[in-house]
Amino acid sequence: MAIVFIPSPLRRLTGGNARVDVPAATLAELIDRLEALHPGMRSYLLDESGALRTYVNIFVNTAEARTLAELRTPLTEDDEVSILPAMAGGTGSGGMVVGGVKRDGAETA
């Protein structure tokens, strides 16, 4: 069984579980089984055409699924699958702060 690590925003679908074990031969089958066990999971992971959503990254062991065979990526019982929602946001002030300096070059207080 592949071990699937569930991010905090999706744990409401898994009864609070951060990890679930899912038997699957491919990433597509894993998502189908996740949906059967935890309804709502597929719509978070896949878009209307059945492709991985752009704001979700799925790693099989240490490789991102898009760099492998995407949904056709084969799985073994020892694989670890991590679901990572993309991070977005900012400072709210119109610029990103890195090392005390706004991206536009202005120093922060």
Give the pTM. Answer: 0.78
3-state secondary structure of 4: strand
Over range 63-68, report the average pLDDT: 96
Do residues 79 and 1 lie in contact, with contact meaning Cβ atoms separated by under 8 Å? no
Who contacts 52 (Cβ-Cβ below 8 Å, separation ≥6)?
Answer: 45, 46, 58, 65, 66, 70, 71
The domain spans of the chain are: 2-85
Closest residue by Cα to residue 19 from 27, 8, 33: 8
**Model confidence over 31-52: pLDDT tens digits?**
999 999 999 999 999 999 999 9
Find out if CATH 3.30.450.40 is the number for domain 2-85. no
Task: Report the C-alpha gap between 54 and 46 in whole angstroms.
Answer: 9
In this predicted structure, what is the pLDDT of residue 91? 54
Task: Report the C-alpha gap between 10 and 80 in whole angstroms.
Answer: 17
